[in-house]
Amino acid sequence: MLFEIVVFLLDVVVGLISGACLLRMYMQAQRVPFGNPVGQLVFALSDWIVMPLRKFMPGKGRWDMSCLLAAFVLQLVEMLLLWLLQGAGSTALALPWLAVCGLIKVALSGLMGILLVYAILSWVQPYSPIYGVLQRLAEPVVAPIRKVVPLIGNVDFSALIALIVLQVLLMVLNYVQAAGLVTLARLTMF
C-alpha cells in the first residue's frame, strides 16, 4: 500500500510540473499571453527547471525545446525513481521509452483537460476571462473537426469528438508502450 501511495504522489507531482512545462511550450507556440492566471501558474510551476535549461538550449523559433527537455527530464527522473523503488531488478534500457510514453500521456491528458474545461465554459460561461485563453489553446484541435462535423441544433460537438479521439489515442499509446516494453525485454535477454 505504501508503494502505491508513493507512486501516486510522485505521478501527481511530476505530471503537474511536466504538464506545466508542456503547456508553457504550447502557449508560447500559440502566442497566448502569459499575463492571465493560467500563464502565471505555468511560469510559477516551470520556471525553476526551464530557465536553467535555456542556457544550454536557447529558445529559437516557434517551439521552445527547453520546455520539452524539462518535461522529458522530469518524466525520466520519475521512471528512474520508480525503477529504484522497485529494486532495480530489470534493465534500465526501458526508462527512456517509459519517459517518452509518460510525456505523451501527460500531453494528451493535458489537452483533454483543456478541451473539457473549454467545452464546459463555452456552454456555461463563454465570457469568462479564462475562456479566451482556453479557446486559443483548443482551437488548433477543434477547428479541423468543425470543418467536417457541422453544428447540430446550434451545438458544437467538436470538443466532444476531440475528447473521444484523444481518449482512443491514450488507449493506443498504452498498447504501444506495453508492446515496446515486451520488445525491449526480449532484446535484453540476448
| pTM of the full structure | 0.89
Q: For residues 37 and 43, what is the distance between their CA atoms, to the nearest angstrom?
A: 10
The number of beta carbons lying within 10 Å of the beta carbon of residue 8 is: 10
Closest CA to 42 of 79, 16, 8, 73: 16
pLDDT of residue 172: 95
Distance separating alpha carbons of residues 98 and 94, to the nearest angstrom = 6
Task: Identify the pLDDT of residue 189.
Answer: 64
Where does the pLDDT of residue 188 fall: very low under 50, low under 70, confident under 90, or very high at 90 and above?
low
Domain ranges, residue 58: 2-189
Average of pLDDT values for 28-40? 90
Number of domains the chain contains: 1
Reported as a single tens digit per residue, the pLDDT across 146-172 is 999 888 887 888 999 999 999 999 999
Q: What is the pLDDT of residues 38-76, one digit of tens each?
A: 899 999 999 999 999 988 887 677 888 999 999 999 999
Phi, psi at 155, each rounded to 5°: -115, 130
Over the stretch 99-151, which tens digit does the pLDDT of each residue have?
999 999 999 999 999 999 998 988 888 888 889 899 999 999 999 999 998 88
Which pLDDT value is given to residue 89? 61
Bridge partners (DSSP) listed for residue 92: none
- Read off the pLDDT of residues 67-101 as tens digits, 9 standing for 90 and up: 999 999 999 999 889 888 877 666 677 788 889 99
Sequence-separated contacts (24+) of 55-61 with Cβ below 8 Å: 59/28
Say how far apart CA 19 and CA 23 lie, in whole Å: 6
pLDDT at 97: 86
Whole-number CA gyration radius for the chain = 19
